[in-house]
């Protein structure tokens, strides 16, 4: 039996507004906007990734309805949601904190 190589390409992250989320991830955290495709009816396919990363990216999904809107900022029910692996924690911390 052949082993299929798999990886998680994107993780969906519910956001309040596409442009607000893009601004935060790209301008504040230094991510790269990989794709922003209009799907019609107010929906977009928006992918951001750490600059230079070849790993998992974030798919920014606009909240649809009150239940999803309530989940914005609380994706994992109060637990840590994403873990950043880095070779220079303090450099990344200061870059993101500025």
Q: Where are the beta strands (DSSP E) in the chain?
A: 10-15, 31-40, 43-50, 57-62
In this prediction, residue 17 carries a pLDDT of: 97
Rg (CA), the chain: 15
Domain boundaries, given as residue ranges, for the chain: 8-65
What is the value of pTM for the model shown?
A: 0.85
Q: What is the pLDDT along the chain (98 residues), one digit of tens a residue?
A: 778 888 889 999 999 999 999 999 999 888 999 999 999 999 999 999 998 888 899 999 999 999 999 999 898 888 988 888 889 989 988 888 87
Instruction: Output the CATH code of domain 8-65.
Output: 3.10.180.10
Phi, psi of 51, deg, nearest 5? -60, 125
Q: How far is CA 67 from CA 63, 64, 72, 77, in A?
A: 8, 8, 9, 13
How does strand 31-40 pair with strand 43-50? antiparallel
């Amino acid at each position: 039996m052949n082993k299929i190589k798999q990886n998680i390409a994107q993780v969906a992250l519910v956001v309040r507004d596409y442009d607000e989320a893009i601004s935060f991830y790209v301008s504040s955290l230094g991510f790269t906007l990989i794709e922003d495709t209009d799907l019609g009816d107010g929906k977009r396919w928006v992918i951001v990734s750490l600059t230079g990363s070849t790993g998992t990216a974030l798919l920014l999904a606009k909240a649809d309805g009150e239940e999803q809107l309530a989940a914005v900022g609380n994706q994992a029910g109060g637990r840590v949601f994403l873990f950043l692996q880095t070779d220079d924690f303090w450099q990344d911390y200061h870059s993101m904190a500025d």
